[in-house]
């Protein structure tokens, strides 16, 4: 225990002694004593310079630090000297003691006089240092500040890196001592050229040239310090030789402009090179002297000279003839069959001023499969309405003839598209203002696709046959709409076919919501009507927020004998995907500028998509026996069973059957004339014509007396005497009393 305490005592003693040695191990501070030394700026200057401006030095002295006769020596960086003597009256090289600092009194200035002065004989031209002396004691209440301005310093050749000035003097005086970087040297220097206010014309041109130094004196002395040469066909305006440089920052200098046709030289006298990095502007003019040599587009002047200049080529204008450029940088994706599709913004730009004349017209024409539904008049134009009645031509007038090349921006325009719209949507630009051109503003896609899986074979003349399953896929969220009146899909089978029953439908992915409880088979919609259940109507309850996929399975169709062999295509249509083709889309667009038909903006003739669901093959045998049953809505042809929407019955000792079922069963074609209430049934070279209520039948053109007449029964079904029709077409008819069965062979 005693040894341990002795060891702790020794360690503590050593630690106490080391506290006196610590300063010997610490690097000396940049500034000694209280106060601070800093440079207000650190410019880049060139070595081997006869007169350069270095950064101004700011010295701060705490209140009461300086006494009478305290002194300090300010030393310039190595290999530098004063070009002119240091003074206190605001010269290039000077000592400044301001009366106040930021509104507060300066502790080194009182009673209208500075507390500091320059020691006589120091700081003369050619010297590298100046001595500063306090002649009055600093007040104890406020800090003091003084500045040393270094506006004219000679720098020897070969000086590199930081230029560091130094404050030296007795450490017991109140001035802070230490060093400060007042500039950085560069053995290289360059001039950067830029232009502004360039114009696009075909005769006279103006622009502003900016000349910018990176270090003082970068615009070198001598003739041809900077030379600009125009391309063939252009010459400098003679007045360019009388220009002067306008100072942007830095120093004013005098230069001479020398114009020689296509060449403009700037000469700088040795006495006029800048002492600080500077920038100047000069307005220049040039003109076309030989249009045959001029090339359309940017006018690029070549750059050379004794100064190191970049770039070596600079744009000074643009040559263009009367005309316009039409551009769309970002065509949008739009969807066929849809309303209110936003197209890409596009712009019409004049090649030169005055291309478009006041009160002349500009037209925007869409293809026949598109109509305008929203316009947004660009600045500089007046909307003159829709030209014609088709809704695909917008018309504008030009407000004023431009004095500089103008552009007209067409933003936030919308269109409606027919389902037949192909790939690119192109706007044609025309009118009597001289604007001609075309621009692609959108890419047209389908909002949904329909794909069949594993097409089957179906036979002509057979009922309830399985066809392929389907997938309906949205290309974009909301591709299937739910707007009022536009809220259902249709699945359609070809003429001569009908859906035997409702399929099974599920939404496999996405959040589309269908009202499947209201799904029905229908015979037509709008202006499209048939005698068959060709359509499945699928109501849409809510559109999707994410693209959805619909699966359609358990699909069965009945194929009559009029369907040709080949592919059977199921079509997808309906206003939920064909908004622009539906009656409900007929509305007012562009303030009623054009009329929309009551059947929609475009004809209801096309589907949005289709897929081959089956192959129709050899028909069921035409000589198969046909069986009708009294009171039953089912009949058979050979081994196939079919359904009817009315049952056969007996009247006046004769069996009546539905005309449609009779025709289908016998493989015949049936037509109906509502005006004359006439049914015509044809098969091959045989035909029979019957009139409702008449007992006279025309069989193969000859009148035949029947003992009963055709009739119409509720709900509007045409019923024919089976024997007279079948025998008229060359068939034999038998009756099975026990089974109440009509047999046709």
**Assigned CATH for 191-319:** 2.60.40.740
Task: Evaluate whether 688 touches 594 at the Cβ level (below 8 Å).
Answer: no
Task: Evaluate whether 348 touches 408 at the Cβ level (below 8 Å).
Answer: yes
| 18-40 confidence digits (pLDDT tens) | 333 333 333 333 455 578 999 99
Identify the pLDDT of residue 37. Answer: 96
| 148-180 confidence digits (pLDDT tens) | 999 999 999 888 889 999 999 988 899 999 999
Query: Which residue, among 466, 618, 480, 455, has the nearest Cα to 541 in the 3D structure?
Result: 480
> Half-sphere exposure of residue 255, counting CA atoms within 13 Å on the CB side?
32
Give strand pairing partners of 393: 365
Structurally, what CATH architecture does the domain formed by 324-444 represent? Sandwich (2.60)
Residue 16 has pLDDT above 50, yes or no: no
Mean pLDDT to the nearest integer, 679-688? 88
State the Cα–Cα distance between residues 356 and 397, nearest whole angstrom.
10
Mean pLDDT to the nearest integer, 615-631? 77
Tell me what the pLDDT averaged over the chain comes to: 86
Burial (CB < 10 A; 0-12, 13-18, 19+), residue 100, is exposed
Residue 512 has pLDDT above 60, yes or no: yes
Task: Examine domains 31-186 and 626-744 and report if their fold is the same.
Answer: no
| 384-431 confidence digits (pLDDT tens) | 988 877 889 999 999 998 888 888 999 999 999 988 887 899 999 999
Task: Evaluate whether 201 touches 320 at the Cβ level (below 8 Å).
Answer: yes
pLDDT band at 435 (very low <50, low <70, confident <90, very high): confident
pLDDT band at 665 (very low <50, low <70, confident <90, very high): confident
| 594-611 confidence digits (pLDDT tens) | 666 555 677 666 788 999
State the Cα–Cα distance between residues 671 and 538, nearest whole angstrom.
30
State the Cα–Cα distance between residues 130 and 147, nearest whole angstrom.
13
Identify the pLDDT of residue 366. Answer: 96
What percentage of the chain has pLDDT greater than the value 90? 51
Q: Give the start-to-end residue ranges of the domains of the chain.
A: 31-186, 191-319, 324-444, 448-617, 626-744
| 95-119 confidence digits (pLDDT tens) | 999 999 888 899 999 888 999 999 9
Mean pLDDT to the nearest integer, 279-300? 91
Protein fold of 31-186? Immunoglobulin-like (2.60.40)
Query: Which residue, among 613, 579, 615, has the nearest Cα to 471 in the 3D structure?
Result: 613
Hey, how many other C-beta atoms are within 10 angstroms of the C-beta on 581? 27
Protein fold of 448-617? Immunoglobulin-like (2.60.40)
| 548-558 confidence digits (pLDDT tens) | 999 999 999 98
State the Cα–Cα distance between residues 544 and 551, nearest whole angstrom.
15
For residue 4, which phi and psi values (nearest 5 degrees)?
-65, -45
- SS3 call for 632: coil
Identify the pLDDT of residue 590. Answer: 62
**Assigned CATH for 626-744:** 3.30.457.10
Identify the pLDDT of residue 346. Answer: 97
């Amino acid at each position: 225990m005693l040894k341990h305490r002795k060891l702790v005592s020794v360690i503590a003693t050593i630690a106490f002694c080391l506290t006196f040695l610590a300063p010997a191990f610490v690097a000396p501070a940049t500034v000694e004593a209280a106060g601070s030394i800093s440079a207000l700026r650190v410019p880049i200057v060139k070595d081997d310079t006869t007169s350069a401006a270095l950064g101004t030095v700011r010295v701060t002295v705490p209140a009461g630090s300086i006494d009478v006769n305290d002194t300090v020596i300010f030393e310039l960086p190595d290999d530098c000297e004063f070009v002119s003597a240091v003074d206190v009256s605001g010269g290039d090289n000077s000592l400044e003691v301001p009366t106040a600092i930021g509104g507060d009194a300066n502790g080194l200035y009182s009673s209208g006089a500075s507390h500091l002065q320059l020691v006589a004989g120091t700081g003369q031209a050619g010297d590298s240092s100046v001595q500063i002396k306090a002649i009055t004691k600093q007040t104890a209440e406020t800090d003091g500040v003084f500045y040393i301005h270094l506006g004219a310093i000679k720098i020897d050749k070969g000086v590199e890196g930081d230029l560091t000035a130094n404050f030296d003097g007795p450490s017991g005086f109140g001035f802070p001592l230490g060093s400060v970087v007042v500039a950085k040297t560069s053995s290289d220097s360059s001039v950067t050229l830029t232009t502004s206010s360039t114009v696009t014309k075909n005769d006279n041109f103006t622009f502003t040239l900016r000349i910018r130094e990176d270090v003082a004196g970068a615009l070198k002395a001598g003739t041809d310090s900077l030379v600009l040469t125009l391309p063939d066909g252009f010459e400098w305006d003679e007045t360019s030789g009388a220009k002067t440089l306008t100072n942007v920052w830095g120093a004013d200098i005098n230069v001479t402009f020398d114009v020689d046709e296509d060449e403009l030289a700037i000469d700088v006298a040795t006495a006029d090179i800048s002492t600080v990095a500077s920038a100047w502007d000069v307005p220049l003019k040039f003109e076309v002297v030989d249009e045959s040599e001029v090339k359309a587009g940017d006018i690029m002047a070549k750059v050379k000279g004794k100064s190191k200049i970049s770039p070596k080529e600079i744009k000074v204008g643009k040559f263009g003839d009367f005309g316009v450029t039409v551009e769309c940088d970002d065509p949008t994706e739009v969807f066929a069959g849809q309303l209110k599709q936003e197209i890409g913004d596009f712009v019409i730009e004049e090649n030169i001023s005055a291309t478009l004349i006041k009160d002349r017209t500009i037209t925007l024409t869409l293809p026949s499969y598109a109509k305008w539904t929203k316009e947004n008049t660009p600045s500089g134009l007046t909307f003159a309405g829709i030209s014609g009645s088709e809704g695909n031509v917008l018309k504008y007038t030009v407000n004023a003839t431009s004095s500089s090349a103008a552009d007209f921006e067409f933003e936030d325009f919308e269109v409606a598209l027919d389902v037949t719209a192909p790939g690119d949507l192109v706007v044609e630009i025309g009118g009597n203002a001289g604007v001609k051109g075309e621009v692609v503003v959108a890419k047209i896609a389908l909002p949904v696709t329909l794909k069949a899986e594993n097409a089957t074979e179906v036979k002509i003349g057979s009922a309830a046959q399985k066809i392929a399953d389907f997938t309906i896929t949205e290309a974009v969220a909301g591709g299937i709409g739910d707007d009022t009146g536009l809220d259902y899909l249709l699945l359609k089978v070809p003429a001569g076919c009908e859906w035997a029953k409702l399929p099974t439908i599920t939404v496999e992915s996405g959040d589309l919501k269908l009202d499947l409880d209201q799904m029905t088979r229908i015979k037509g919609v709008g202006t499209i009507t048939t005698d068959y259940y060709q359509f499945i109507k699928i109501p849409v309850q809510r559109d999707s927020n994410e693209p959805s996929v619909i699966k359609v399975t358990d699909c069965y169709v009945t194929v009559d004998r009029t369907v040709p062999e080949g592919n059977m295509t199921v079509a997808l249509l309906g206003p939920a995907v064909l908004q622009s083709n539906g009656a409900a889309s007929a509305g007012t667009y562009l303030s009623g500028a054009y009329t929309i038909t009551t059947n929609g903006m475009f004809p209801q003739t096309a589907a949005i998509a289709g897929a081959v669901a089956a192959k129709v093959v050899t028909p069921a045998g035409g000589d198969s026996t046909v069986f009708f049953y009294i009171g039953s809505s089912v009949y058979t042809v050979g081994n196939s069973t079919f359904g009817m929407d009315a049952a056969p019955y007996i009247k006046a000792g004769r069996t009546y059957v539905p005309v449609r079922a009779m025709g289908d069963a016998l493989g015949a074609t049936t037509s109906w004339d509502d005006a004359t209430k006439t049914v015509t049934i044809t098969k091959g070279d045989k035909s029979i014509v019957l009139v409702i209520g008449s007992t006279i039948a025309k069989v193969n053109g000859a009148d035949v007396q029947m003992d009963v007449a055709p009739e119409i029964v509720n709900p509007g079904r045409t019923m024919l005497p089976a024997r007279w029709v079948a025998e008229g077409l060359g068939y034999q008819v038998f009756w099975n009393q026990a089974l109440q069965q009509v047999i046709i062979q």
